[in-house]
Amino acid sequence: MAQKAVCVLKGTGEVTGTVHFEQQDEGAPVKLTGEISGLTADLGNVTAGDDGVAKINIEDKILSLSGPYSIIGRTMVIHEKVDDLGKGGDEESLKTGNAGGRLACGVIGRLQHQLPQFSTGTTQTTQVTNAAALSAT
């Protein structure tokens, strides 16, 4: 059964977004989809358009939504600059990658789908089971 997660990103400024994660089976790639708005440049593998919105559609073979290396409960951070991966030649580069300030953060939380609620006429509801994902709002 596919596992799903979500990360709601929010900061003190204009940067906000939602990233969805889906993994069909343990060991399968994780598909990331979503949007981040309020950006002025790129995020390495995610580039914002002229409107400041980055549309995410990535498949990653390293991430996992289960097992000992699961990303559930981990934080996603949008930084001001591109991370130089410690290759900037100074002490700050080794500590922070010279990535600058944090523009938005969010916790990755597992999604849980509930059964249809026939009395209200809705077909499906989705909730975040990790309340920390909403703590940044």
The string of pLDDT tens digits covering residues 6-28 is: 999 999 999 999 999 999 998 99
> CA 103 to CA 69: how far, in whole Å?
26
Highest mean pLDDT out of 39-53, 83-97, 115-129: 83-97
pLDDT above 80: residue 96: yes
Could you tell me the pTM of the whole model?
0.75
Please indicate, yes or no, if residue 28 is contained in any of the structural domains: yes
pLDDT above 90: residue 57: yes
Please indicate, yes or no, if residue 83 is contained in any of the structural domains: no
Q: What angle do CA 72, 75, 76 make, to 5 degrees?
A: 110
Looking at 33-47, 71-85, 109-123, which range is the least confident one? 109-123
CATH of the domain at 41: 2.60.40.200
Number of neighbouring beta carbons within 10 Å of residue 35: 16
The pLDDT of residue 45: 58
pLDDT above 90: residue 73: yes
Please indicate, yes or no, if residue 47 is contained in any of the structural domains: yes
Please indicate, yes or no, if residue 96 is contained in any of the structural domains: no
Please indicate, yes or no, if residue 127 is contained in any of the structural domains: yes
Please indicate, yes or no, if residue 8 is contained in any of the structural domains: yes
Please indicate, yes or no, if residue 89 is contained in any of the structural domains: no
Whole domain around residue 43: which residue ranges? 3-74+101-134
Of 39 and 122, the one with more pLDDT? 39
Please indicate, yes or no, if residue 18 is contained in any of the structural domains: yes
Look at the chain and report how many structural domains it folds into. Answer: 1
For the chain, the average pLDDT equals 82
